[in-house]
Copies of this chain bind each other. A is one copy, B any other.
Amino acid sequence: MRTLRAVAELRAALAQTRRAGRTIALVPTMGFLHEGHLSLIAAARDQADEVVVSLFVNPAQFDEASDLDAYPRDEARDAGLAAQAGAHLLFAPPVQEMYPAGFTTQVRVQGPLTEELEGAHRGAAHFHGVTTVVTKLLNMVAPDVALFGQKDAQQTLVIQRLVTDLDLPVRIEVAPTIREEDGLARSSRNVRLGGDDRRRALALSRALRAAEQALAAGTSDAATLLAAARAAMDDFDVEPEYLALVDPEDLRPVATVDQETLLAVAARVGQVRLIDNTVLSPELHHRRGYADGDPPLAAGVNRTDPQEV
C-alpha cells in the first residue's frame, strides 16, 4: 500500500488505475481507524478493484477547537491497519494541500438535513465542512463507489443528498455500525473515555435497545418509546443532547413508529461527545421479538455487507 500526500500524485496514480480498466472505491476517514473503518475497507474490496482510504482530520467540520485538538491521531498505526484490511492506497494530505491559501469555497446541503439533530447542536457548519471536504475528495479520486458508516446516520443522508443534487458521478454505500461486545458503537473518540466514562458510555446503545424492546413489546407511540430510552440513559446518569425518533428521509419527528424510523441519540460522557442510532422497523421487531439475553442492537452488529441508502 502506497501513502500519498499530494493531490497531483494521487491523480497520477489513479489515472493509471483507470487506464488499466480497474474500478476504484473510496473510504473517507479521519484516521485512528477502528473495526468500523476496517469493515468499510473490507466492504470496499467487494465493491471495486482498488481501495483508496483517505486520512484527513478535517478542521472545517469541527465546531469546537478543543475537539479538533483532542482528536486522536496515529498515522503509522492507521497505515498498518489499512494495509492489513486490504487498502491499496492511503491518501493522507496535510491541511495546506486540502485548503491552500485563498481557499474560500463551501458546499452546503441546506435545510432540515443539516439543521436538525447534529446540526441543531453542533451547528449546520459542521455538515458544510463535511460536504465541502467530501466533494473535494470525490473530485480528486473520482471513485466508482464511496463508503460511509451508518453510525453517522445523518451524515450519510446529507452525503446522499449532496451526491444527488450536484450530480456527482459516484455510488454511495452505507455499511452497518460496528459495536464493541457490550454494544458501544465503535468510534475513534472512544479512546478518550477515561475511568468510569467507558461504562457510562453504554447509556447510548442501551437507550436504543430499550426503545427496540419497548417496540417489540407492542408500543409504537413515539413518546412512550423515547421515555423508555430516556430511562435507560438515566440509569447511567447520562443526559442526552438529543434523543429523537425521526423520519429517516427528512429527519422530521414522528409521533408513531408505523414505518422505518430513525432513533438517534447524542450525549456528552465526560469530555467526549458520542452519537449512536438505530433504525426501528415495527414489522421486524414484532416478528422476531427480543429477549434480554440478546446481543444489543442485533440488526447492526458486525454485519459488513453494505446496504444502499
Chain A 75-114 interface mask (CB, 8 Å, partner B; 1/0)? 0000000000000000000000000001111111111010
> Across the interface, which residues of B come within 8 angstroms of A139, CB to CB?
166-169
> Across the interface, which residues of B come within 8 angstroms of A162, CB to CB?
105
Decide yes or no whether A281 CB sits under 8 A from chain B. Answer: no
Q: Are B104 and A109 in contact (CB under 8 A)?
A: yes
Q: Are A105 and B105 in contact (CB under 8 A)?
A: no
Decide yes or no whether A273 CB sits under 8 A from chain B. Answer: no
Decide yes or no whether A161 CB sits under 8 A from chain B. Answer: yes
**B-facing residues in A212-260 (Cβ within 8 Å):** none
Chain A 3-21 interface mask (CB, 8 Å, partner B; 1/0)? 0000100010000000000
Chain A 156-168 interface mask (CB, 8 Å, partner B; 1/0)? 0000011011111
A104-B109, A104-B113, A108-B106 given; A136·B7 CB < 8 A: no
Decide yes or no whether A135 CB sits under 8 A from chain B. Answer: yes
Q: Are B110 and A166 in contact (CB under 8 A)?
A: no
Q: Are A7 and B105 in contact (CB under 8 A)?
A: no
CB nearest to A250 among chain B residues: B102
- Complex Cα distance, B247 from A296, in Å, reads 62
Q: Are B105 and A167 in contact (CB under 8 A)?
A: no
Shortest distance from the beta carbon of A303 to any chain B beta carbon, whole Å: 29
Shortest distance from the beta carbon of A50 to any chain B beta carbon, whole Å: 18
**B-facing residues in A156-206 (Cβ within 8 Å):** 161-162, 164-169
Decide yes or no whether A147 CB sits under 8 A from chain B. Answer: no
Interface residues of A (CB under 8 A from B): 7, 11, 102-111, 113, 131-132, 135-136, 139-140, 142, 161-162, 164-169
- Chosen A-B contacts, 23 in total, with CB atoms closer than 8 Å, are A7-B167, A11-B169, A102-B164, A103-B165, A104-B109, A104-B110, A104-B111, A104-B113, A104-B165, A105-B108, A105-B162, A105-B166, A106-B108, A106-B110, A107-B107, A107-B108, A107-B166, A108-B108, A132-B166, A135-B166, A136-B167, A139-B169, A142-B169
